[in-house]
Amino acid sequence: MKSLTSRRAALRAAFPATIPVMTGYLCLGMAYGVLMQSKGYGPLWSTLMSAVAFGGSMQFAAITLLTMAFDPFQAFFLAVMVNARHMFYGLSLLDKYKGLGWARIPLVYLLSDETFSLVSTLTPPEDVDRRRFYLYISLLDYAYWVAATALGGLLGNVITFNTEGMDFALTALFVVLFLEQWKKRESRPAGIIGVVCAAVSLAVFGAENLVIPAMVLVLISLLGGRKRLCT
């Protein structure tokens, strides 16, 4: 009974914090499900992709990879580069997740941009178990994404409409994230570096091959700047 009460308290504390993520995932997840359906992949495949890969932006990028000649090296390298930011997320959460035992495994697997933003800024109430609080936030965000993907796949299967332009949802998401970061003065140099590196990569490698070179340039620039600041 005490364990059940503790779980309920953690869920009640975690759920309100995840409501903004739920609304965002509802739109993006449904868009992903509909896009997968439009490319010939039914709701089962899109839901399975969300449940297993849970890659967000990489899942949108994977739609193109699934509809072109398969290149395992390009797919692997693109996935690593797109999701490389999670390494930095994980490092910054070492203290938050310290001492959580077995829960660290699902917490690492379920980490996303939005979950990171919640976990990194929230502290559980004094009467709520810390491990359950963070775990419920991660599980709820994961459930929102998978459910929204399934709903989008089902709607795309029964409703026929022009899906042209829906893939811009991901671009719009990153534009919003960029604008939110731009509001913080200390984040602006990194934003400028990203824009310049993307422009250089576009000019040199073209629109079809700019992503990986741009991310490599960003990584080199940030590491080089950090080294100079530390010396």
Q: What is the pLDDT of residues 1-14, one digit of tens each?
A: 567 778 888 999 99
Contact criterion met (CB below 8 Å) for 217 and 194: no
Is the pLDDT higher at 202 or at 211?
Answer: 202
Is 231 or 130 the better-scoring residue by pLDDT? 130
CA distances (Å), 179 to each of 30, 42, 185, 186, in order?
24, 34, 11, 13
pLDDT band at residue 151, thresholds of 50, 70 and 90? very high
pTM of this prediction?
A: 0.73
DSSP 8-class letter at 69? -
pLDDT digits (tens, 9 = 90+) for 63-102: 877 777 777 777 787 777 777 777 777 777 888 888 899 9
Q: Which two tokens stand for residue 182?
A: 């731009």
Provide the pLDDT confidence category of residue 229 given band limits of 50, 70 and 90: very low
Q: Distance between terminal CA atoms of the chain?
A: 56
| H-helix segments, 125-187 | 130-158, 168-182
Q: Which residues in 18-84 belong to E strands, given as ranges?
A: none
Q: Show Cβ contacts of residue 24 under 8 Å, excluding neighbours closer than 6 positions.
A: 114, 173
pLDDT of residue 175: 76
Inter-residue contact 107 to 134 (CB < 8 Å):
yes
